[in-house]
Structure 1
Amino acid sequence: MEPTDERLRGVLDDLVRREPLFHRTEFGTTRADFEAMTAPDFWETGASGERYSRDFVLDVLEERYKAPPTEEWETSDFRCQELGAGVYLLTYTLVLNGRRTRRATIWQQGADDWRVLYHQGTVVQDL
Protein backbone atom coordinates (compact mmCIF):
# COMPACT_ATOMS: atom_id res chain seq x y z
CA MET A 1 0.00 0.00 0.00
CA GLU A 2 1.25 3.45 -0.88
CA PRO A 3 2.13 5.77 2.02
CA THR A 4 0.25 9.00 2.58
CA ASP A 5 1.13 11.68 0.05
CA GLU A 6 3.52 14.12 1.71
CA ARG A 7 1.27 17.09 0.83
CA LEU A 8 -1.35 15.57 3.17
CA ARG A 9 1.01 15.30 6.16
CA GLY A 10 -0.76 18.08 8.11
CA VAL A 11 -4.17 16.53 7.48
CA LEU A 12 -2.86 13.11 8.51
CA ASP A 13 -1.44 14.54 11.73
CA ASP A 14 -4.74 16.29 12.55
CA LEU A 15 -6.77 13.14 11.97
CA VAL A 16 -4.44 10.77 13.79
CA ARG A 17 -5.01 12.90 16.90
CA ARG A 18 -8.77 12.27 16.56
CA GLU A 19 -8.68 8.49 16.21
CA PRO A 20 -9.79 6.05 17.37
CA LEU A 21 -13.08 7.75 16.76
CA PHE A 22 -15.27 8.15 19.86
CA HIS A 23 -12.47 6.94 22.17
CA ARG A 24 -10.50 10.21 22.43
CA THR A 25 -11.99 11.84 25.51
CA GLU A 26 -10.15 15.12 24.90
CA PHE A 27 -12.66 15.85 22.12
CA GLY A 28 -15.57 15.44 24.52
CA THR A 29 -17.77 12.75 25.99
CA THR A 30 -21.26 14.25 25.87
CA ARG A 31 -23.94 13.75 23.27
CA ALA A 32 -23.51 17.39 22.24
CA ASP A 33 -19.78 16.78 21.68
CA PHE A 34 -20.47 13.75 19.51
CA GLU A 35 -23.19 15.60 17.59
CA ALA A 36 -20.69 18.37 16.84
CA MET A 37 -18.11 15.91 15.50
CA THR A 38 -20.51 13.99 13.23
CA ALA A 39 -22.33 15.16 10.13
CA PRO A 40 -26.15 15.14 10.30
CA ASP A 41 -26.20 12.23 7.82
CA PHE A 42 -23.34 10.30 9.49
CA TRP A 43 -23.66 6.53 9.61
CA GLU A 44 -21.40 3.65 10.48
CA THR A 45 -20.84 0.00 9.63
CA GLY A 46 -19.81 -1.86 12.77
CA ALA A 47 -17.33 -4.72 13.05
CA SER A 48 -20.40 -7.00 13.12
CA GLY A 49 -21.37 -5.83 9.64
CA GLU A 50 -24.47 -4.07 10.97
CA ARG A 51 -25.26 -0.56 9.75
CA TYR A 52 -25.95 2.05 12.41
CA SER A 53 -27.60 5.44 12.12
CA ARG A 54 -26.22 8.57 13.70
CA ASP A 55 -29.00 8.57 16.30
CA PHE A 56 -28.26 4.97 17.28
CA VAL A 57 -24.51 5.68 17.60
CA LEU A 58 -25.19 8.82 19.67
CA ASP A 59 -27.51 6.85 21.98
CA VAL A 60 -24.84 4.18 22.51
CA LEU A 61 -22.12 6.78 23.16
CA GLU A 62 -24.32 8.70 25.58
CA GLU A 63 -24.89 5.49 27.55
CA ARG A 64 -21.21 4.45 27.36
CA TYR A 65 -19.93 7.70 28.82
CA LYS A 66 -22.28 7.68 31.81
CA ALA A 67 -19.71 5.28 33.27
CA PRO A 68 -16.66 5.56 30.99
CA PRO A 69 -15.02 2.20 30.32
CA THR A 70 -11.40 1.46 31.01
CA GLU A 71 -9.90 0.75 27.63
CA GLU A 72 -6.51 -0.29 26.40
CA TRP A 73 -5.94 0.56 22.78
CA GLU A 74 -3.16 0.93 20.28
CA THR A 75 -3.28 2.36 16.76
CA SER A 76 -0.93 1.86 13.80
CA ASP A 77 -0.63 1.85 10.02
CA PHE A 78 -2.32 5.22 9.45
CA ARG A 79 -2.90 6.31 5.87
CA CYS A 80 -4.75 9.36 4.55
CA GLN A 81 -6.17 9.83 1.08
CA GLU A 82 -7.95 12.88 -0.32
CA LEU A 83 -11.34 11.94 -1.76
CA GLY A 84 -12.46 15.41 -2.81
CA ALA A 85 -12.20 19.04 -1.77
CA GLY A 86 -11.93 18.97 2.02
CA VAL A 87 -12.92 15.27 2.28
CA TYR A 88 -10.43 12.63 3.41
CA LEU A 89 -10.34 8.89 4.00
CA LEU A 90 -8.29 7.86 7.03
CA THR A 91 -7.48 4.17 7.45
CA TYR A 92 -5.63 2.50 10.29
CA THR A 93 -5.38 -0.56 12.49
CA LEU A 94 -6.79 -0.55 16.01
CA VAL A 95 -6.18 -3.05 18.78
CA LEU A 96 -8.83 -2.40 21.43
CA ASN A 97 -9.11 -4.66 24.46
CA GLY A 98 -7.48 -7.53 22.55
CA ARG A 99 -9.44 -7.24 19.30
CA ARG A 100 -7.70 -6.12 16.10
CA THR A 101 -9.76 -4.19 13.56
CA ARG A 102 -9.06 -2.23 10.43
CA ARG A 103 -10.77 1.14 10.59
CA ALA A 104 -11.88 3.54 7.89
CA THR A 105 -13.22 7.00 8.64
CA ILE A 106 -14.30 9.61 6.11
CA TRP A 107 -13.62 13.08 7.50
CA GLN A 108 -14.75 16.46 6.19
CA GLN A 109 -12.75 19.57 6.98
CA GLY A 110 -15.07 22.44 7.83
CA ALA A 111 -14.42 26.10 8.45
CA ASP A 112 -14.08 25.54 12.20
CA ASP A 113 -13.31 21.88 12.73
CA TRP A 114 -13.46 18.32 11.44
CA ARG A 115 -16.67 16.31 11.05
CA VAL A 116 -17.10 12.61 10.46
CA LEU A 117 -19.23 11.51 7.51
CA TYR A 118 -18.79 7.73 7.78
CA HIS A 119 -16.94 5.16 9.89
CA GLN A 120 -16.33 1.43 9.57
CA GLY A 121 -14.52 -1.20 11.58
CA THR A 122 -13.67 -4.68 10.27
CA VAL A 123 -12.34 -7.43 12.55
CA VAL A 124 -8.98 -8.78 11.43
CA GLN A 125 -8.28 -11.20 14.24
CA ASP A 126 -8.77 -11.59 17.93
CA LEU A 127 -5.53 -11.60 19.92
Structure 2
Amino acid sequence: MSDLDLETILGELRQREPIFHRRAFGTSRDDLEAMTAEDFFEIGASGRIYRRDFVIANLLERYQQPERHDWPCRDFSIRRLAENLYLLNYTLDEPGRTTLRTLAKLWRELENRLPSGNHCRLSRQCQNLARRGIDAAAP
Protein backbone atom coordinates (compact mmCIF):
# COMPACT_ATOMS: atom_id res chain seq x y z
CA MET A 1 0.00 0.00 0.00
CA SER A 2 1.34 3.39 -0.91
CA ASP A 3 1.52 6.38 1.42
CA LEU A 4 -1.00 8.08 -0.87
CA ASP A 5 -3.54 5.29 -0.27
CA LEU A 6 -2.95 5.47 3.47
CA GLU A 7 -3.40 9.26 3.41
CA THR A 8 -6.66 8.83 1.46
CA ILE A 9 -8.00 6.39 4.05
CA LEU A 10 -6.86 8.66 6.88
CA GLY A 11 -8.72 11.53 5.22
CA GLU A 12 -11.91 9.46 5.01
CA LEU A 13 -11.66 8.36 8.64
CA ARG A 14 -10.78 11.87 9.85
CA GLN A 15 -14.05 13.18 8.38
CA ARG A 16 -16.05 10.67 10.43
CA GLU A 17 -14.42 11.03 13.84
CA PRO A 18 -15.74 10.92 16.38
CA ILE A 19 -18.22 8.57 14.76
CA PHE A 20 -21.89 9.15 15.62
CA HIS A 21 -21.15 12.83 16.35
CA ARG A 22 -20.81 13.69 12.66
CA ARG A 23 -24.46 13.98 11.71
CA ALA A 24 -23.72 14.65 8.04
CA PHE A 25 -23.29 10.88 7.62
CA GLY A 26 -26.88 10.26 8.70
CA THR A 27 -29.09 10.21 11.76
CA SER A 28 -31.86 7.76 10.85
CA ARG A 29 -32.07 4.15 11.99
CA ASP A 30 -31.32 3.06 8.41
CA ASP A 31 -28.23 5.31 8.30
CA LEU A 32 -26.92 3.97 11.61
CA GLU A 33 -27.56 0.36 10.63
CA ALA A 34 -25.72 0.95 7.36
CA MET A 35 -22.73 2.34 9.31
CA THR A 36 -22.47 -0.61 11.70
CA ALA A 37 -22.11 -4.36 11.36
CA GLU A 38 -24.92 -6.57 12.67
CA ASP A 39 -22.63 -7.82 15.45
CA PHE A 40 -21.41 -4.30 16.29
CA PHE A 41 -20.79 -3.44 19.90
CA GLU A 42 -19.33 -0.44 21.65
CA ILE A 43 -17.10 -0.38 24.69
CA GLY A 44 -17.80 2.79 26.63
CA ALA A 45 -15.25 4.83 28.54
CA SER A 46 -16.33 2.93 31.68
CA GLY A 47 -15.45 -0.40 30.05
CA ARG A 48 -19.10 -1.40 29.81
CA ILE A 49 -20.19 -3.16 26.60
CA TYR A 50 -23.22 -1.97 24.63
CA ARG A 51 -24.80 -3.85 21.73
CA ARG A 52 -25.88 -2.32 18.44
CA ASP A 53 -29.62 -1.99 19.18
CA PHE A 54 -28.94 -0.26 22.49
CA VAL A 55 -26.47 2.17 20.89
CA ILE A 56 -28.79 2.98 17.97
CA ALA A 57 -31.78 3.57 20.27
CA ASN A 58 -29.73 5.99 22.38
CA LEU A 59 -28.38 7.78 19.31
CA LEU A 60 -31.87 8.24 17.84
CA GLU A 61 -32.95 9.83 21.13
CA ARG A 62 -29.84 12.04 21.27
CA TYR A 63 -30.35 13.18 17.66
CA GLN A 64 -33.66 14.80 18.69
CA GLN A 65 -31.60 17.64 20.19
CA PRO A 66 -28.91 19.85 18.59
CA GLU A 67 -25.33 18.73 19.15
CA ARG A 68 -24.00 20.59 22.21
CA HIS A 69 -20.34 20.41 21.24
CA ASP A 70 -18.43 20.29 17.95
CA TRP A 71 -16.06 17.47 19.11
CA PRO A 72 -12.82 18.84 17.65
CA CYS A 73 -10.19 16.21 16.83
CA ARG A 74 -6.50 16.73 16.05
CA ASP A 75 -3.13 15.03 15.72
CA PHE A 76 -4.38 12.13 13.60
CA SER A 77 -2.13 9.22 12.69
CA ILE A 78 -2.85 5.90 11.05
CA ARG A 79 -1.09 2.57 10.69
CA ARG A 80 -2.10 -0.39 8.56
CA LEU A 81 -2.36 -3.55 10.70
CA ALA A 82 -3.67 -5.95 8.03
CA GLU A 83 -5.68 -5.84 4.83
CA ASN A 84 -8.45 -3.25 5.36
CA LEU A 85 -7.65 -3.03 9.09
CA TYR A 86 -6.10 0.17 10.46
CA LEU A 87 -5.04 1.56 13.80
CA LEU A 88 -6.24 5.16 14.08
CA ASN A 89 -4.96 7.53 16.77
CA TYR A 90 -6.08 11.07 17.49
CA THR A 91 -6.68 13.58 20.24
CA LEU A 92 -10.29 14.48 21.03
CA ASP A 93 -11.05 17.73 22.82
CA GLU A 94 -14.13 16.95 24.88
CA PRO A 95 -15.98 19.32 27.21
CA GLY A 96 -13.82 19.49 30.32
CA ARG A 97 -11.10 17.06 29.17
CA THR A 98 -8.79 16.00 26.37
CA THR A 99 -8.64 12.33 25.39
CA LEU A 100 -6.12 10.39 23.31
CA ARG A 101 -8.05 7.79 21.33
CA THR A 102 -6.63 4.65 19.78
CA LEU A 103 -9.07 2.75 17.59
CA ALA A 104 -8.99 -0.36 15.45
CA LYS A 105 -10.96 0.34 12.26
CA LEU A 106 -12.05 -2.10 9.59
CA TRP A 107 -12.42 -0.01 6.45
CA ARG A 108 -14.58 -1.49 3.73
CA GLU A 109 -13.41 0.62 0.86
CA LEU A 110 -15.95 -0.70 -1.63
CA GLU A 111 -18.87 -0.13 0.72
CA ASN A 112 -17.38 3.09 2.12
CA ARG A 113 -18.54 2.29 5.64
CA LEU A 114 -17.10 1.40 8.99
CA PRO A 115 -18.47 -1.53 10.98
CA SER A 116 -17.01 -0.09 14.12
CA GLY A 117 -17.69 0.97 17.70
CA ASN A 118 -17.24 4.20 19.62
CA HIS A 119 -14.89 4.66 22.61
CA CYS A 120 -13.05 1.47 21.76
CA ARG A 121 -13.83 0.82 18.14
CA LEU A 122 -13.52 -2.85 17.35
CA SER A 123 -14.03 -4.48 13.98
CA ARG A 124 -15.18 -8.06 13.55
CA GLN A 125 -11.54 -9.07 13.18
CA CYS A 126 -10.71 -7.46 16.53
CA GLN A 127 -13.77 -8.60 18.45
CA ASN A 128 -12.41 -12.09 19.09
CA LEU A 129 -9.55 -10.54 21.07
CA ALA A 130 -11.88 -8.29 23.02
CA ARG A 131 -14.40 -11.02 23.79
CA ARG A 132 -11.95 -13.29 25.57
CA GLY A 133 -13.31 -13.35 29.08
CA ILE A 134 -15.97 -10.71 28.29
CA ASP A 135 -19.71 -11.32 28.21
CA ALA A 136 -21.07 -9.00 25.51
CA ALA A 137 -24.60 -8.98 26.89
CA ALA A 138 -26.41 -5.69 26.44
CA PRO A 139 -27.07 -3.65 29.59
TM bracket, shorter-chain basis:
0.7 to 0.9
Alpha-carbon deviation of 1:66?
1.7
Contact residue 90 and residue 107 of structure 1 kept, 8 A: no
- C-alpha deviations, 1:102-127, integer Å up to 9, x for none? 32252322423122333325xxxxxx
> Which has the larger share of strand?
1
Distance 1:39 1:57, change over 3 A: same
Say if 2:85 and 2:104, in contact at 8 Å, map to a contact too. Answer: no
C-alpha separation in 1, matches of 2:97 and 2:105:
22
Instruction: Indicate conservation of the 8 Å contact 2:91/2:100, yes or no.
Output: yes
SS in 1 for 2:74: strand
State the number of aligned residues. 117
The secondary structure found in structure 2 opposite 1:116 is: coil
Q: Greater share of helix residues, 1 or 2?
A: 2
- 1:17-62 CA distances to partner (integer Å, 9 max, x unpaired)? 1111101111011121111111111111111111111111111101
For 1:64, give the aligned amino acid. Answer: R
Paired with 2:33 and 2:109, the residues of 1 have a C-alpha distance of: 14
- Paired position in structure 2 for 1:116: 115
1:120 is matched by which residue type in structure 2? H
Which residue in 2 is equivalent to 1:6?
A: 3
TM-score by length of 2: 0.73
Root mean square deviation of aligned Cα: 1.9
Following superposition, which runs of at least 4 residues in structure 1 exceed 6 angstroms of deviation? none
- Aligned sequence identity (%): 43
Gaps of 5+ in 2: 121-139
Residues 1:118 and 1:89: Cα distance change in structure 2 (over 3 Å)? farther
Question: Out of 94, 100, 103, which is 1:102 matched to?
Answer: 100
Structure 1 gaps of 5+ residues are 122-127
Q: Which AA in structure 2 matches 1:84? A: A
Moved more, 112-121 or 10-19: 112-121
Tell me, yes or no, if the aligned pair for 1:74 and 1:94 is still in contact at 8 Å.
yes
Q: What's the counterpart of residue 75 of structure 2? A: 77
- Alpha-carbon distance in structure 2 between the residues aligned to 1:116 and 1:100: 25
Query: In structure 2, do the counterparts of structure 1 residues 57 and 100 end up closer, same or farther at CA, with 3 Å as the change threshold?
Result: same
> Residue 124 of structure 1 corresponds to which residue in structure 2?
none
Q: TM-score, normalised by structure 1?
A: 0.79
76-85 vs 19-28, which moves further: 76-85
CA distance in 2, matches of 1:94, 1:105: 16
